[in-house]
Every structure is written in structure tokens, then in C-alpha cells.
Structure 1
Amino acid sequence: MTQTQALIEEAVKKSGLIWVQGPTGPSRALWHVWHEGAAVLVGGPGEQPLDGLGLVDGGTATVTVRSKDKGGRLVMWAARVAEVPAGSEEWTAAVAELKGKRLNAPDAEGLEERWARECRVVRLSPTGDTSPLPDGSLAAEPLATPVTTRRAMPAALPKLLRRGRR
């Protein structure tokens, strides 16, 4: 194992999220597991969204791994994308690992069946190529959404809050 492969494996194993950017769409934070030399993730209805990234079998993606404790970028690497066919031996082994890391699943007993029926399991295997880390911020405009969370504070709110403390 080369130093680059060891760095990628160790960083991905310790990080709870990886940032994945496919050929299309923005980079997206995804939860994953490291299994048999690749980052494995699941996406689809009821899971994390993979649509819009362009992750297709045989395609490529760029993966950025951050430090779990400091949050800074550790390594950016190129990945080969492989969709794992549902029901195969490889799928069964990958899903067993993923199921152990899936938090708050609404249907823990039927999770594997739902994933086989509705979701995609994708392997991101390192090609061995890494990219230099950028010098500046990679902050981007938030994606457009009809949801709003911020409105002007009502003028009477500070007075009401002070009154509740008495």
C-alpha cells in the first residue's frame, strides 16, 4: 500500500462525512463506510440524495475528506464510481457495514429490503490520484430552495422576552 492510499484510507475511516462531487452538480456531504478499499454509500428515497451528482457506474468523482476534530480538508482524491448490484455478495457485505452506521432509520427491520428495492449502493474506489488542497475557501452560495427560516424579528419580541424573566 502506498503512502497516498494509506492516507486516503485512514482519513476516510476516521471521518463521518465525505464531500463528493460528481461530473455534474455541486459537491455534497455524504455519510459512508470504508469497506474493502473503497468508500461505500447509500442513497435514494428516505436516504441521502445522490441524484444531481452524476454518479454513474464507470464514472468518476472527486472526494474531499475533512478532519473529524478540526473540520479542515485533509485530502482530495479522484474516485472510480461503481454501482453495487442489489442482491450480489458484494452488496450484502457492503449493506451489512452500512446498516451498522445508519442512524435513526425509520424501518430498521426492513432496511435491507427497502435499500434493495428503492436505493442505490455506490462504491467510490480511489484511483491513486490526489489533488492539491486549495488555498482559499470553497464556500459557495447555498442551493436555491423555497424554504425560508429567517424573518424580521417582531418589534414587540424583546419586551415580551424581558417580561417572561420576571
Structure 2
Amino acid sequence: MSDERNSPLVDEAMKKASVAWVAVGGGPSLALWCVPLEGVLFVVSGPGEQSAPGLAETDEAQVTLRGDHGGRIVTWPARVTRVVPGTGEWDTLAPLVGAKRLNARGATADLVARWAADGCVLARLAPAGQPAHGTELPAASLAEPPRPSPAVRVTRRPFRLHRVRRR
């Protein structure tokens, strides 16, 4: 299913990908666990799995792959299709993706059956055109401010049982 127009950079980055940063509809990029198979990335989301808002309903997304040290390698447009449970395609692909699922409890067949029963989405992210970024280095920083989170709290001074003398 690999598209012959795929960039060699995209193909090579996908081969080693285990996490992809996926942005849907101009929203923020979310880090999603993924499995590279047949020249595309597969992502599972839904109840009991990772949250990927909007991915099940969209036809396109932006995928960013990063290197071992966190730096961006390439960003490319992706065509998103859904693999439907109960089809021959599901029966072939879902066990392959399930076998690579880290920290899965139970057998792969049980995991795939749970995905189908719970309404989880198995999405295929196929390259749809040339990379948007990655062929040249950016002139400016790509750093973004942290997104608001309920997990953020005020940092307090550490507790000390006794006084620390300075010399």
C-alpha cells in the first residue's frame, strides 16, 4: 500500500517510528503510539486506548516524526482512513498492530476483540503528498509555549527537617 510518490525521507522515518505527532484540523499535535506497516502508520484510539480527538472523523492530518533526541525529522500530510472491524482487512491488520502494542494485557486475539467490541478506531495514516517540512532547516525556533493543563501546580519550596548552614 505504499505510495510510489512517497519521499524517501518519509519512508525512512516511518520505518523506525513508534510515536508520531498527529495534528487534526489545524489543532495541536498529539503524541500517539503508532505501528509502521506496509509503508503507512497505524494508530489505535478509543476507550481503554490513547485519545486522538477528531482522528476517527477526519480524512486528512499532519504527521510529524521525530528522532531519538526529540528533534523533528519530517512533517507530512496524511490521508486518514479507518479499518473497519469484521472485514478481511481488519482480520489481517489488527492482529499485526495488536502484536506490537506495548504493555498490552492478555493475548493479542483478546486485545483485538476488545478493540472491536469497545468501538476503538484503527486508523491508517498514509502519506498524501510531499513533506511540508523536513527538507531544510527552519530559520526560526519552532518552540511553542506549553498548553494549559489541570496537572500544572505551583512549585513550593522543598521541605527541610533542619536548617542548612552555609559556609
> Structure 1: how far apart are the matches of 2:139 and 2:44?
31
Alignment partner, residue 24 of structure 2: 22
Alignment partner, residue 60 of structure 1: 60
Which AA in structure 1 matches 2:125? L
Which AA in structure 2 matches 1:30? L
Name the SS for the 2:62 alignment partner.
Answer: strand
CA RMSD of aligned residues (A): 2.4
> Structure 1: how far apart are the matches of 2:147 and 2:48?
20
> Structure 2: how far apart are the matches of 1:145 and 1:108?
35
Q: Which runs of 5+ in 2 are unaligned?
A: none
Q: Which has the higher helix share?
A: 1
Name the SS for the 2:12 alignment partner.
Answer: helix
TM-score (norm 2): 0.79
Alignment partner, residue 40 of structure 2: 38
The answer to whether structure 1 residue 127 and structure 2 residue 128 are counterparts is yes
Name the SS for the 1:131 alignment partner.
Answer: coil
> Structure 2: how far apart are the matches of 1:104 and 1:56?
23
Name the SS for the 1:20 alignment partner.
Answer: strand
**1:71 Cα deviation (Å)?**
2.4
Alignment partner, residue 48 of structure 1: 50
Q: May I ask how many residue pairs the two structures share in their alignment? A: 156
The answer to whether structure 1 residue 153 and structure 2 residue 157 are counterparts is yes
**1:115 Cα deviation (Å)?**
0.5
Identical residues among aligned pairs (%):
40
> Structure 1: how far apart are the matches of 2:6 and 2:26?
30
CA displacement, residues 117-145 of structure 1 (integer Å, 9 cap, x when unaligned): 22100001101221134443433333333
- Contact kept in structure 2, 1:23 and 1:55, CA below 8 Å: no
**1:39 Cα deviation (Å)?**
0.6
